[in-house]
Structure 1
Amino acid sequence: MEFFRYKNQLKPEKGRLLISEPFLPDPNFERTVVLLCEHNEEGSFGFVINKPSILKVSEVMEDIKKLEDIVYVGGPVQQDTLHFLHRNTSLEGAVKIWNEVYWGGDFETLISQIDITVIQSKDIRFYLGYSGWGPGQLNAELEEDSWIVCDYATDELLFDTEPSMMWKKALDSMGGRFSIYSNYPVDPRMN
């Protein structure tokens, strides 16, 4: 059906969101929002920003005792690695993703800044693993309409929005038929 063709007008790039289409059959990415941290001819990677795990930061990293926040599942690749996105402009080695949002940086400094509350829990998110695509793989998935590219990567969405509302909020931000998609039930038989 032509109605369900997304015809992505935006191209994937660093700082944009990938929103899974409403009926994506892959359970790893059902109702998922991925923040792209890199996209080039060598491939793409980012973090699922709306899938909390059952673990707390302090349970994953003994050095971080002050954060009782949940760790997120960043994706199915290398789930034995811990990554972080934050709003700290002074963390050495951090990679700017967009505006005041950064990925990674010097971990020892991060721990010190958490201890003295330079970085607060509202300004950082931790992710186990990441989402990755090899050369051309993401573009092929876009051609299959598995993802909708969105330019609504805001600090508020990443740090202040309830994870269960991110998928809907990102689609709503696009307006038109995407707002309609945001209201689709997970199981259409329940409509």
Structure 2
Amino acid sequence: MQPVPNISPQSGSLLISEPFLQDENFVRSVVLLCENNELGSFGLVLNKLSIFKLDELLDGCELRDKEVYVGGPVEQNTLHFIYQGEQVLADSISVGENLWWGGDFTELMEKHRLGMVNTADFRFFIGYSGWESGQLKEELTENTWIVCDNAYARNIFLAEPDDLWRVILKNMGGDFQVLANYPIDPRLN
């Protein structure tokens, strides 16, 4: 039995791809929904590592060997970030309890130089996931996504990227625990 999704996800909700989603951009994905309104939706895939490190993408970047994730298939020439904890950047947008999206990158680098931020609390992304007006709602109706609130967001920074999809489903309990064990290819069951 497929759990019934929440049709009205809010900013800060996590979108968990259904077990047999075949879109290569979103197989076993966990997406943090940063914005959702009548104009469309914006999110970041939390569990797809890119082949790049941050200092390879930005000349002069002092964050050596900092992992960069693929936030989605849209505009992969853009850089985005989230962080946990207290708000440390003035322009950051709250996307849940102790979870922040964006802010001034120059301010972040300055605070890093001064030792005022812990970069382990930050995740960086190239590209993003975007939906036109009504598109995400349609995908939810088709059971493409399971929506959960950001109570499970602590896992973003604790679980290994390859395990995040399964960890969140297991932590949601009930029927979701069963989904967490589905094979990618049902013929292997």
Q: TM-score, normalised by structure 1?
A: 0.92
C-alpha distance in 1 between matches for 2:172 and 2:38? 27
1:59 counterpart (44, 56, 61): 56
Structure-2 change in CA distance of 1:155 and 1:180 (3 Å): closer
Map 1:29-68 to 2 at 5 A. Answer: 29-68=26-65
Structure 1 residue 99 displacement after superposition: 1.2
| Residue in structure 2 matched with residue 18 of structure 1 by the alignment | 15
2:38/2:134 contact within 8 Å kept: yes
> Higher mean Cα deviation, 54-63 or 134-143?
54-63
| C-alpha deviation, 1:48, in angstroms | 0.3
C-alpha deviations, 1:30-67, integer Å up to 9, x for none?
00000000111111111000000010011111232233
Question: Match of 1:32, as an amino acid?
Answer: S
Match of 1:95 in 2: 93
Q: Is the CA contact (8 Å cut-off) linking 2:83 and 2:99 kept in structure 1?
A: yes
Match for residue 160 of structure 1? Answer: 158
- Alignment of 1:85 with 2:82, yes or no, is yes
Q: Distance in 2 between matches of 1:155 and 1:64?
A: 27
| Structure 1 residue matching 2:25: 3-state secondary structure | helix
8 Å Cα contact 2:19-2:28 kept in structure 1: yes
* Other structure's SS at 1:157 match: helix
Deviation at 1:70, TM superposition (A): 1.2
Change in 2 beyond 3 A, CA 1:121/1:90: closer
Give the aligned CA root-mean-square deviation in angstroms.
1.5
Deviation string 1:126-177 (CA, Å, 9 cap, x unpaired) is 0001001011000000011100001244452122221111101111122111
**How many residues were matched structurally?**
188
CA distance in 2, matches of 1:84, 1:94: 10
Moved more, 123-132 or 110-119: 110-119
**Unmatched 5+ residue regions in structure 2?**
none
Gaps of 5+ in 1: none
Q: Equivalent residue for 2:175?
A: 177
Look up the match of 2:123: 125
TM-score (normalizing by structure 2): 0.93
Deviations 1:67-102 (A, max 9, x none): 312100000110000001013512121111111111
